Structure 1
Amino acid sequence: MGRLVPAVTRALDILELFLEGDGTLSAPDIVRRLQLPRTTVHELVTTLAARSYIVQVPGQPGRYRLGVRPYQLGSRYAEQLDLAAEGQQVARAVAETCDETVHVAILEGTDVIYIAKVDSTHAVRMVSAAGRRLPAHCTSVGKMLLASLPEQLLASRIQEGVPLVAMTPNSITDPVALREALDDIRRRGVAIENRESNPDVSCVAAPVRDRSGQVVAALSISVPMIRWSEDRRAELEQLALKGAGELSERLGHRGAA
């Protein structure tokens, strides 16, 4: 890697300050936060304003907010995002940490479709593939995605009194029981699958959000029952949340997923 340019680093430090608080700053604020000389801050602020990276706040002389240029750059970045490709990269990093099978899935109707997958290196592992479709209510990713739906959409997909298909004896088939499980998922922020799609595998899943905060996918970690325990579950929940949070950041989301 080449040498970092101090002036560019300082300009980027200034721009990143606008991600915090109410999104407005004065030159003295920047001096205090970054511990830079006043003349340096004045020159950098003047340059950023001249290039439309920051603009003065109307009616508040001396205060600045982000200008149109960062929005244009962010929009171009968003246009080039590929959820499957980004998901595959994050899934690989998560799998390298826990050495278990990691999936990223999206919701389509009442099914989930796996769009990314990285296998465990263990001899005993989950057999699946990207592109596979499963009933959402039988999987941790699916339950996470169902729990994130607005009530009107959820009611149109999970109808009261209509039994749900079972994949294993542990699958939830009662819509009322499923809704209770979804309520618990909303409270906890993570979803658990207890041998509901595969009698030998349990999973944990966490939500993936886009820049608007909407849940657009879920990331799961699948573990054969021979390696499953309550301690392992708690550990993998945190890892799934961390991985889903990283993928959310790549999609432009700000804040915890």
Structure 2
Amino acid sequence: MARAVPALERAFDILELFLDEPELSAPEITSRLGLPRTTVHELLGTLVERGYLTHAGGSGSRYRLGVRGFQLGSAYADRLDLAREGHLAAEETSRQCNETVHIGIREGTDVLYVAKVDSGHPVRMVSAVGRRIPAHCTAVGKALLAPLSREKLDELYGGTTLTPMTDNSISDYPSLLAELAEVARRSGQAREYCESNDSVACVAAPVRDHSHEVVAAMSIAVPILRWNERVERELTETVLRGAANLSERLGHRAD
């Protein structure tokens, strides 16, 4: 690992203070970081000159983030590729559990799979990258539907018939609403037992981007012959870590 540059580390330390505070004064920065006052003033001057900080309210006593940080963040966001980042996160998650991992997005009332990493075990799945499946039949879909408002859900499902994929699929709107309310109570953790495939169970978790919006979901699928309460508990923890990893790749910052 290359040797860290102390001056750069201090500059980054100053910038990262503004992740939690809209404005700070030089004395506040000095106190929080325990740096010499002269060093802080020199670093602040440089950061202002380069556009990473600006004087708040037109005075020289307080500082806030400048436009340069926004430009860098926008450039980073423009270069993000959900399919690519999703595949990388799915690979890492699959290595941890040796099960099939999916990344899906919502398109209307369907889930569209944008990434999939297969288990080392032979598993017959109905999913494939680019395939659409009714969201109400999948754990990924439930994780994507749960954050939606009742008004949006009414718009999507009100007055429509839910087509089941198996005998275990949710087949009416009130049952879907009850299930989504339970998913929301579990902070987006969703489950599926033989609802899109007669022989597969899944757990899923939501994926958020830099704006804190749910933009995708990750699931882990397991044949029911290997499914039990312990496996469900362990894989739920794994999928939560995997979804958090992908969220971080997409710029989400946990509170």
User: Judging changes above 3 Å, is the alpha-carbon distance between structure 1 residues 158 and 35 closer, same or farther for their aligned structure 2 residues?
Assistant: same
Q: CA deviation at 1:226?
A: 2.1
Letter paired with 1:3: R
Q: Detail structure 1 runs of 4+ shifted over 6 Å in the superposition.
A: none
Match of 2:16 in 1: 16
Q: CA deviation at 1:99?
A: 1.5
**Structure 1 counterpart SS, 2:57:** coil
Match of 1:246 in 2: 245
Match of 2:32 in 1: 33
Q: CA deviation at 1:127?
A: 6.2
Q: CA deviation at 1:30?
A: 2.4
User: Judging changes above 3 Å, is the alpha-carbon distance between structure 1 residues 187 and 60 closer, same or farther for their aligned structure 2 residues?
Assistant: farther
Match of 1:49 in 2: 48
User: Judging changes above 3 Å, is the alpha-carbon distance between structure 1 residues 174 and 127 closer, same or farther for their aligned structure 2 residues?
Assistant: closer
Match of 1:87 in 2: 86
Does structure 2 retain, via aligned residues, the 8 Å contact 1:206–1:219? yes
Letter paired with 1:64: Y
User: Judging changes above 3 Å, is the alpha-carbon distance between structure 1 residues 35 and 227 closer, same or farther for their aligned structure 2 residues?
Assistant: farther
Match of 2:179 in 1: 181
Q: CA deviation at 1:116?
A: 0.6
Letter paired with 2:30: V
Does structure 1 retain, via aligned residues, the 8 Å contact 2:53–2:64? yes
Match of 2:154 in 1: 155
Q: CA deviation at 1:83?
A: 0.9
**Structure 2 counterpart SS, 1:58:** helix
> Do residues 169 (structure 1) and 135 (structure 2) align?
no
Does structure 2 retain, via aligned residues, the 8 Å contact 1:125–1:223? no
Does structure 2 retain, via aligned residues, the 8 Å contact 1:141–1:220? yes
- The one-character-per-residue Cα deviations of 1:106-159 (angstroms, maximum 9, x if unpaired) are 111211110011112234574642112111100001111121223222112212
Match of 1:102 in 2: 101
Structure 2 CA distance for aligned equivalents of residues 196 and 92 of structure 1: 24
Q: CA deviation at 1:61?
A: 5.1
Q: CA deviation at 1:90?
A: 1.0
How does 1:65-84 map onto structure 2 within 5 Å?
A: 65-84=64-83
Q: CA deviation at 1:76?
A: 1.0
Letter paired with 2:242: G
TM-score (norm 1): 0.91
TM-score (norm 2): 0.92
| TM-align CA RMSD | 1.9
Letter paired with 1:174: D
Letter paired with 1:153: K
**Structure 1 counterpart SS, 2:165:** coil
Q: CA deviation at 1:31?
A: 2.5
Letter paired with 1:73: L
Letter paired with 1:181: E
Structure 2 CA distance for aligned equivalents of residues 60 and 90 of structure 1: 45
**Structure 2 counterpart SS, 1:220:** strand
Q: CA deviation at 1:29?
A: 2.6
Does structure 2 retain, via aligned residues, the 8 Å contact 1:221–1:240? yes
Does structure 2 retain, via aligned residues, the 8 Å contact 1:126–1:224? no
Deviates more, 1:73-82 or 1:242-251: 242-251
Q: CA deviation at 1:203?
A: 0.7
Does structure 2 retain, via aligned residues, the 8 Å contact 1:140–1:203? yes
Deviates more, 1:79-88 or 1:59-68: 59-68
**Structure 2 counterpart SS, 1:113:** strand
Does structure 2 retain, via aligned residues, the 8 Å contact 1:164–1:175? yes
How does 1:108-119 map onto structure 2 within 5 Å?
A: 108-119=107-118
Q: CA deviation at 1:240?
A: 1.7
User: Judging changes above 3 Å, is the alpha-carbon distance between structure 1 residues 197 and 45 closer, same or farther for their aligned structure 2 residues?
Assistant: same
Structure 1, unaligned runs of 5 or more: none
Identity of aligned residues (%): 57
